């Protein structure tokens, strides 16, 4: 049986990579388990080419290892991995937020406020997919406002390792995240670079401990 919807989307390797990341971080693919290229392609209803590209991408990210004649195996996720990623995100994200505070336009601020309103509604409606998408849009809008494409690109690469899809179901995180976002919006409205840097850094760093606890409870981190 194929995964619903996959065969009807553009067959990009990133779609497959996102799908496999989600399975790793929700425990569907355990450490030491092999991800079979042909089997996954059949399940998704696509050719093996984007699947192969996706698995090599995940190998480069350190989530998979390739073993001769055996294929791709899932590597363990550790608490240190999560903390390291969170710390780097906090540093780069803080700098992007500070630059955004210095350059953001009134129109960009209005867009951010609307995204945050929609995000809070998605959380309230238990629309996890919508919340993930809107949270991504919120942070992306800040990165765009920062007008620092190379730094934003680095942030995007790091964020791939952070399991965004998990956060909406972590107890208490939606409320905490909304409070962080509102504090950040206030800093941006005031064009306060230092406060924006601090607010974003603290927001991104705060996710590490609840995420580690969540992944440990589900056996992803052992």
Regarding whether 12 and 95 lie in a shared domain, the answer is: no
The tens-digit pLDDT sequence of the chain (222 residues) is 667 656 545 457 888 998 999 899 989 999 999 999 999 999 999 999 999 999 999 999 889 999 988 899 999 999 999 999 999 999 999 999 999 999 999 999 999 999 999 999 999 999 999 999 999 999 999 999 999 999 999 998 888 777 788 898 898 999 999 999 999 999 999 999 999 999 999 999 999 999 999 999 989 997
CA distance 73 to 163: 19
Question: Which DSSP string do the residues of 85-130 spell out, in sequence order?
Answer: HHHHHHHHHHHHHHHHHHH--HHHHHHHHHHHHHHHHHHHTT-HHH
pTM: 0.85
Q: Is residue 206 part of a domain?
A: yes
Q: Tell me the three state secondary structure of residue 72.
A: strand
Regarding whether 199 and 135 lie in a shared domain, the answer is: yes
Burial of 36 (0-12, 13-18, 19+ CB in 10 A): middle
How high is the pLDDT of residue 139? 97
What is the DSSP-derived secondary structure letter of residue 47?
-
Regarding whether 149 and 95 lie in a shared domain, the answer is: yes
Regarding whether 52 and 133 lie in a shared domain, the answer is: no
Regarding whether 53 and 15 lie in a shared domain, the answer is: yes
* Helices 79-103 and 208-217: angle between axes, nearest 10 degrees: 150
- Taking the CA of residue 17 as centre, how many other CA atoms within 13 Å lie in the half-sphere pointing to its CB? 22
Regarding whether 95 and 23 lie in a shared domain, the answer is: no
């Amino acid at each position: 049986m194929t995964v619903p919807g996959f065969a009807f989307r553009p067959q990009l390797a990133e779609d497959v990579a996102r799908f496999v990341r989600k399975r790793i971080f929700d425990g569907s693919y355990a450490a030491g388990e092999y991800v079979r290229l042909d089997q996954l392609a059949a399940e998704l209803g696509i050719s093996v080419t984007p699947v192969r590209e996706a698995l090599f991408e995940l190998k480069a990210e350190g989530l998979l290892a390739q073993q001769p004649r055996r294929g791709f195996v899932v590597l363990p996720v550790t608490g240190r991995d999560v903390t390291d990623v969170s710390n780097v995100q906090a540093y780069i994200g803080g700098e992007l937020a500070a630059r955004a505070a210095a350059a953001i336009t009134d129109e960009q601020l209005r867009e951010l406020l609307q995204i945050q309103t929609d995000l809070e509604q998605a959380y309230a409606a238990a629309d996890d997919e919508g919340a993930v998408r809107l949270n991504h849009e919120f942070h992306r809008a800040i990165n765009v406002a920062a007008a620092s494409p190379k730094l934003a690109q680095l942030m995007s690469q790091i964020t791939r390792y952070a399991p965004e899809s998990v956060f909406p179901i972590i107890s208490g995180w939606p409320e905490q995240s909304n409070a962080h976002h509102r504090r950040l919006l206030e800093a941006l409205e005031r064009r306060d670079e230092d406060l924006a840097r601090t607010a974003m850094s603290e927001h991104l760093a705060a996710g590490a401990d609840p995420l580690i606890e969540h992944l440990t409870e589900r056996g992803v981190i052992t």
